[in-house]
Structure 1
């Protein structure tokens, strides 16, 4: 369930308070009082058989005696009463309730079911939506609604705040009111038994009263629903998150480095980034970021120029910038020359640009203008410390118009209090983000940078992977099934490498030996030098027991090393089962960088992928980043870029740059592997050695577990549904009918450019001349859980794929209704391709259990109208007659 009936929760016309009271400091009394003084214009109906009047309102003994059916009910009664009240409310026609009562998850009835389970069962009968239980309530200042037991009300505004913590609700409410910050919605989720983050995000994404969304998250339950809703919300408005519980509680036992290093907070961080949201770390940062992002202009880069009238603040800003991995702009030679002409000889002659403490307003104006024109500065930080020479207010009045008309981001820091209050107000009124300290100003700039990067991951069209990823799924599955059949949850190293090789990941030649003599013989067969390693299901980290010997040059040396290795293992790990050996070719990669690629299974978000610096000290170095599968080249590059080791992958000194494409392909191949084979629970490729010639896996560890789940069902983001691909014959040639991919961006742009202007107008109701990058990304980077776009594609004359047509459906969050569109390349019309594409779309929507397919078209688009009627669409003219509305009842056709 998602946004069904949430309008009754967030837009109620009438409210019943079940358990209203006059008992001082009780929840029932506080809620009723808050509702009455809040200014809600609709009927407020207290319910309690003990009273006749409360707060000047008539009180009703029960739900049955209410004069009308309330849109919303607020329940403040003991746990045992809640399921019965929900049943009665639902039967009477109420479709939303706020349950403030706590303890529903622990209290049980005679059958052993919890009160929460009973409540949800009763709510489900009538699709009655429940906020809570164990929540503080709901405030919607725009309609005077304060259905909560908070100690104060909320000011009206354009920010929605959603919190799982009741203490955060009351604390933030008090904090924000003291600073004049208002809200469109103020929502306490409590236990989120029904309405959760996903539901609220879906609602707020299209809420015209909300311009920004703030979340306080303690835990996410339905990860895929959350990710789909978060990605949709973040595309439409700034969505910011505070995630509680950042500190690790201790390393968990794991069979891999990845399992030990991928902490829950890292995974949440990856999910927030992938959804295009921005994570902040304090309440103050949360609201600062809202103001900053609301006033931010488009960002073209992350190079910051600093303008200051004092060296100290400039140095402080620079330190803060570098500390947050920001970049200081290197000013162009032309800008330096012009600044030399405009400034005293004692200016800093670089960035930060210190224009000296006696600077008059004109000097500020000229310096700002020059920095705004510098092609190497993407944004400017304006810092002013008050002096007795020129009033700060005078400087602000002179500079504000210059900044207001700038195309680049300019952030300001007015150091001080009373002496700069007017200047700060002038800048704020001009829409310029303004801060008290250099550090806060730099923090604001980095928030813009990080938010921009996260949004780019949502919007950027990735390049295709060079070379098809061909996987031998049957070979990999055979290896894993064999291990599980023998009761093993850890693959031997040669088995793990065989699985990787089946998915195209280069591995060193590795063979298994049961005895010392066999190890020497196998080494002779492979060719020297070789590496010898111990094999045992009980030994996870071989180096800890001296279980690795490298660069062995002869068979006798192999036998000697194997014997010594056995002695060490028996001494250090006498419990280790059946020690054996693996013998592998020594990989000579003098310019190789040791990396780690791994995966583990997070209890909330499912499989996650790790990349970082590898080797035996991998956990000590702690240089890694986490990503959510599936990955493409853009996402894989972003994952790599978030590590320190990424800098070592570039060329330096006499070393050539490592093959970044090969590294990213490995990450993508790992994602394919864990999607295809859900039995893989943990994996390490450590080290994965990378150099200019590619990558090779020297060691691998895979833990497996029996499961009945499908691979894609484990993922927080649904991967490309390859099972929907279908080859068809059309006009005597083969076409591939398949879902659209992000990598289809270039050919989709070519498809758009081949459309006649009239066909574009039929589709978008306007004479659109070109497709913007953000529009292209929205068309090709779809959420397969909520949208589908089928394209008909073939190989063109140049051997490259070309798109001939597309049919598209975007479902509502409840999967009840989907809006469809269809367009065929102009030179391919009237050949039956539109019918094929629409039939495929209708069949898909019906298979997903949707009830209807709806759309609209210009009334003179006779071709689409004819096609729609053939499929049984109902048609209806809009009031002005220019648009024809289309609707297909999918359930009726299915019967």
Structure 2
């Protein structure tokens, strides 16, 4: 279920209130009063079984007595009545309901022959045959101010506007409505999600993404249930509209004792951070920041980076802004020689001669103007923050009037901080009316600037298109065989030897490791590999070996090895007398003095499934708390973003004569770990700690993992929040053009896809795009190559070429959120048309749609595109003319069993 019938919820022509009442203080009375007072232009029908009138209007005793079928019903009655009311509404033809009632987790009272179920499940079961959509239960309701609809028991209404607000918390709904009304903030809709038993975040994001009355989407999220649905909808919405999130529970301590460091992160707030970032949304901490951020996105250009120039008439405020900027990871833009020379010419000798640019407290408006113009003309920065502390010399409003012509037309964002009260009120008003962002304090302005920077980064992650170049295919067969053998043997917590074998199957460099049952075996292994060596205890009951002194390093000879072994056994038997000791592992001592210790791993989140962790490693992982997580699958661009979000990233870049680490080797390791997370559903935890990284590459010194068997009939594919590349759909075919590969498109195809587009004739571009385009922008290229396989598919025909694989044709289809229809397009390179390639691609596409059980495939072609008409007709499509002269092609598919 997704957006089906949601138009009855958001655009009803008639509303019935079940349980409407005149009883003061009741939910039914409040909802009815709000609906009448809101000015809704459609029919309003109160339903009350005891009274003939409600609020002076005729009331009806039950649903069947209503004068018509309501588009929307609002249910305000006790929980036990809800299932029967939903059944009656569905049978009458109603297709949307808001259930305000709470308490639906109680059992539904039925005959003993029926299996017990909750009132909630009974409600959903009653709605399903009619496709009746339910908002709630346990919600405040919803408002659509543009049509005067206030179907809620909120204490007030909302102003019309272009922002959509969706919240799970009913208390927050009423508070934000009151807060927004005081600030004259308007909404396209205001939705209390409640329990989200049917209509959830994914459904609403899909609807709002296509809503022409909504410019930006604001969410208050407490929890997400269907991660893949949420991620697909969020990524789709964020591509077209700013989508901002307040996620509660940031400080909730979800970490717990676990077999691995990564396992302790299950349920962590870090995972929500990763999901929000991967979807291209922006997370903020408070509802006030939510509205500030959306105002910024509406008024200011998004900066290209984090370099800020600060212009101020007071040294103190400038330092405050610089401190806030640097503490949060921003950059003070350097002033180049030409800019310094230009500022010297217009500023007094006592100016700061650096950034922040302090133009001194007696600055007249002309000095502000000259300094701002010099900064806007300078290279090397991404935004300007103007800070003004009030003085008696020049009114703030005069300064604002002088600067606004520059700020409004500036090529980079200009933010204003007018410190003080009444003396700068007029300056603030002028800036707000001109669309220039205004803040009360330097810290607020810096935080807003960095939110813009983060939003740009998140959007770049969403729309990125990595360059060509793929990693070698892992040995999945060997990995699969090892996991199955371990599970068959009853193993769950897997030690270093078997974990490193799995890493090797995925091409992750490891240190050679041998196991030994006793002293003699350890000595023999050390002789084979050569001293010095590292010795570690081998026990299924000891996860963190250093906690019990179970690691000895740099053992130079046999005597040192024997002494370390005896001491280790004695410590372990004292500290963990019940632990089973299976022996020891022996490794050659790795000497990489300039390497950093990192941790890379996999954890399984209860909502979003497997996630990849990266951060600073070693024995103090929990103490340093320097980690970031990402949702698989990863590529190098996403891996680089994952690394960037940690403090250790600055050390990896090199410092104090230490060369930078081999970032490509690190990114490749993260991509391979992401492959493991996607390929191996039984792998629920993985720790590679430490992973050494330096200029010579990376190597895993220690590793462990935890396995869990899959339930019968579960292939594990549903656990992934984002579908990985579907390599099972690849096929090799013979054609008139020779052997070809037909496969789904992937981000790495961006260079070949750009070359493919450039090889199309202007006429073919016109046929495909319904207009003329000379080239694809980076955003368009990313949109064509980085697709959401849960929502769309694009098959390309490709073959090897001297400069790399070339794309010869593409067949693309986008599905509606309900998978009821898909809209296709097919394009073949201009010089290869008439060779059967279009038919080959369309056949693959139709096979895929049939297997996906999509009942209707359709497309639109220009009237002059007769080749496309002929191809479609030969494949069984029915052709019909549209009002604009174009041709619609439709094909009904039998659903695969």
User: TM tier, shorter chain?
Assistant: over 0.9
- Tell me which residue corresponds to 1:286: 290
- Tell me which residue corresponds to 1:653: 656
Is the CA contact (8 Å cut-off) linking 1:36 and 1:55 kept in structure 2? no
Q: Distance in 2 between matches of 1:262 and 1:334?
A: 52
Q: Distance in 2 between matches of 1:682 and 1:295?
A: 44
- Tell me which residue corresponds to 2:865: 861
- Tell me which residue corresponds to 2:55: 55
- Tell me which residue corresponds to 1:503: 506
- Tell me which residue corresponds to 1:771: 776
Is the CA contact (8 Å cut-off) linking 2:255 and 2:268 kept in structure 1? no
- Tell me which residue corresponds to 1:322: 326
Q: Distance in 2 between matches of 1:410 and 1:815?
A: 44
- Tell me which residue corresponds to 1:600: 603
**Count of residues in Structure 1 that have an aligned counterpart in Structure 2:** 891
For residue 789 of structure 1, give the secondary structure of its aligned residue in structure 2. strand
Q: Does 1:458 align with 2:494?
A: no
- Tell me which residue corresponds to 2:678: 675
Q: Distance in 2 between matches of 1:830 and 1:47?
A: 65
Comparing 510-519 and 635-644, the one that deviates more: 510-519
For residue 689 of structure 2, give the secondary structure of its aligned residue in structure 1. strand
Comparing 277-286 and 468-477, the one that deviates more: 468-477
Is the CA contact (8 Å cut-off) linking 1:414 and 1:435 kept in structure 2? yes
Q: Does 1:183 align with 2:192?
A: no
Q: Out of 652, 671, 689, which is 1:686 matched to? A: 689
Q: CA deviation at 1:392?
A: 1.3
Comparing 252-261 and 218-227, the one that deviates more: 252-261
Is the CA contact (8 Å cut-off) linking 1:465 and 1:633 kept in structure 2? no
Is the CA contact (8 Å cut-off) linking 2:267 and 2:606 kept in structure 1? no
Q: Distance in 2 between matches of 1:298 and 1:322?
A: 19
- Tell me which residue corresponds to 2:219: 215
Q: CA deviation at 1:844?
A: 0.6
Q: Out of 825, 828, 833, which is 1:821 matched to? A: 825
Q: Does 1:757 align with 2:746?
A: no
- Tell me which residue corresponds to 1:172: 176
Q: Out of 706, 712, 722, which is 2:727 matched to? A: 722
Q: CA deviation at 1:252?
A: 1.1
Q: Distance in 2 between matches of 1:656 and 1:321?
A: 27
Alignment of 1:564-575 (within 5 A): 564-575=567-578
Q: CA deviation at 1:248?
A: 2.8
Q: Distance in 2 between matches of 1:345 and 1:17?
A: 73
- Tell me which residue corresponds to 2:791: 786
- Tell me which residue corresponds to 1:713: 718
- Tell me which residue corresponds to 2:116: 112
Q: CA deviation at 1:825?
A: 0.5
Q: CA deviation at 1:251?
A: 3.0
Q: Distance in 2 between matches of 1:671 and 1:46?
A: 55
Is the CA contact (8 Å cut-off) linking 1:224 and 1:716 kept in structure 2? yes
Identify unmatched segments of 5+ residues in structure 1.
none
Q: Distance in 2 between matches of 1:301 and 1:76?
A: 51
For residue 354 of structure 2, give the secondary structure of its aligned residue in structure 1. coil
Is the CA contact (8 Å cut-off) linking 1:238 and 1:277 kept in structure 2? yes
Is the CA contact (8 Å cut-off) linking 2:266 and 2:606 kept in structure 1? no
For residue 894 of structure 2, give the secondary structure of its aligned residue in structure 1. helix
Is the CA contact (8 Å cut-off) linking 2:108 and 2:122 kept in structure 1? no
Alignment of 1:150-165 (within 5 A): 150-165=154-169
- Tell me which residue corresponds to 1:340: 344
For residue 494 of structure 2, give the secondary structure of its aligned residue in structure 1. coil
For residue 891 of structure 1, give the secondary structure of its aligned residue in structure 2. coil
- Tell me which residue corresponds to 1:14: 14
For residue 204 of structure 2, give the secondary structure of its aligned residue in structure 1. helix
Q: CA deviation at 1:625?
A: 0.7
Listed one character per residue, the Cα deviations across residues 236-274 of structure 1 (whole Å, up to 9, x for unaligned) are 111000001112335312111112246521100110001
Q: Distance in 1 between matches of 2:552 and 2:276?
A: 42
- Tell me which residue corresponds to 2:594: 591
Q: Does 1:833 align with 2:827?
A: no
Q: CA deviation at 1:53?
A: 1.1
Change (3 A) 1:673 1:198: same
For residue 305 of structure 2, give the secondary structure of its aligned residue in structure 1. coil
- Tell me which residue corresponds to 1:398: 402
Alignment of 1:492-641 (within 5 A): 492-641=495-644
Q: Distance in 1 between matches of 2:769 and 2:255?
A: 53
Q: Distance in 2 between matches of 1:842 and 1:482?
A: 39
Comparing 559-568 and 758-767, the one that deviates more: 559-568
Q: CA deviation at 1:326?
A: 0.8
Q: CA deviation at 1:130?
A: 0.1
Is the CA contact (8 Å cut-off) linking 1:712 and 1:719 kept in structure 2? no
Q: Does 1:742 align with 2:742?
A: no
- Tell me which residue corresponds to 1:36: 36
Q: Distance in 2 between matches of 1:667 and 1:452?
A: 23
Change (3 A) 1:657 1:891: same
Q: CA deviation at 1:601?
A: 0.3
Is the CA contact (8 Å cut-off) linking 2:71 and 2:96 kept in structure 1? yes
Is the CA contact (8 Å cut-off) linking 1:676 and 1:711 kept in structure 2? no
- Tell me which residue corresponds to 2:484: 481
State the TM-score, normalizing by the size of structure 2.
0.98
Is the CA contact (8 Å cut-off) linking 1:335 and 1:374 kept in structure 2? yes
- Tell me which residue corresponds to 1:697: 700
Listed one character per residue, the Cα deviations across residues 528-551 of structure 1 (whole Å, up to 9, x for unaligned) are 211110011100000111111111
Q: Does 1:234 align with 2:238?
A: yes
Is the CA contact (8 Å cut-off) linking 2:302 and 2:452 kept in structure 1? no
Listed one character per residue, the Cα deviations across residues 520-573 of structure 1 (whole Å, up to 9, x for unaligned) are 112112222111100111000001111111112223432332222111111110
For residue 356 of structure 1, give the secondary structure of its aligned residue in structure 2. coil
Q: Distance in 2 between matches of 1:684 and 1:276?
A: 28
Q: Distance in 2 between matches of 1:767 and 1:219?
A: 45
Taking only aligned residues, the RMSD between alpha carbons, in angstroms, comes to: 1.3
Q: Does 1:271 align with 2:275?
A: yes
Q: Distance in 2 between matches of 1:416 and 1:691?
A: 51
Change (3 A) 1:388 1:804: same
Listed one character per residue, the Cα deviations across residues 212-243 of structure 1 (whole Å, up to 9, x for unaligned) are 11100000000000000000111111100000
Is the CA contact (8 Å cut-off) linking 2:710 and 2:716 kept in structure 1? no
Identify unmatched segments of 5+ residues in structure 2.
none
Is the CA contact (8 Å cut-off) linking 1:872 and 1:888 kept in structure 2? yes
Q: Distance in 2 between matches of 1:191 and 1:329?
A: 47
State the TM-score, normalizing by the size of structure 1.
0.98
Change (3 A) 1:397 1:551: same
Is the CA contact (8 Å cut-off) linking 1:233 and 1:239 kept in structure 2? yes
Q: Distance in 2 between matches of 1:727 and 1:639?
A: 35
Comparing 724-733 and 128-137, the one that deviates more: 724-733
Q: Distance in 1 between matches of 2:438 and 2:571?
A: 65
Comparing 126-135 and 356-365, the one that deviates more: 356-365
Q: Does 1:811 align with 2:812?
A: no
